[in-house]
Amino acid sequence: MLLNVIEICIDRKQLKVAFRCFNYIDSFNIPETDLYERILIKFYRGFYEFQIGKDEAIKEMEKCANIMASLECLGTAQHMKEKIEKLSQK
């Protein structure tokens, strides 16, 4: 659920709140077996970095979308690709 909050905060340009959520997530010890969550965190970090002006972060987002596609998480991969496409158009 916290990942959904992060996405909404970044979408709404509430970047300070998103940053605090990332700090909270960093305090967790997310095991390597929780790949889905780890990839989502990496994707949203890229989204956050893109929103603060780091254009190269979109490449990390694309990597995450490609990983999801190769793992056949097609709905998630599609959502990620759509978000990347919207960002690329700005």
Condensed to tens digits (0 to 9), the pLDDT of residues 41-87 reads: 999 999 999 999 999 999 999 999 999 999 999 999 999 999 999 99
DSSP 20: H
In terms of C-beta density within 10 A (0-12 exposed, 13-18 middle, 19 or more buried), how is residue 50 classed? buried
Average pLDDT over residues 24-38: 93
Picking from 37, 19, 40, the residue whose alpha carbon sits closest to that of residue 29 is 37
Range of the domain at 33: 2-89
Residue 36, token pair as written in the block: 């889905």
Q: Using 50, 70 and 90 to split pLDDT, how confident is the model at 89?
A: confident
Total count of domains within the chain: 1
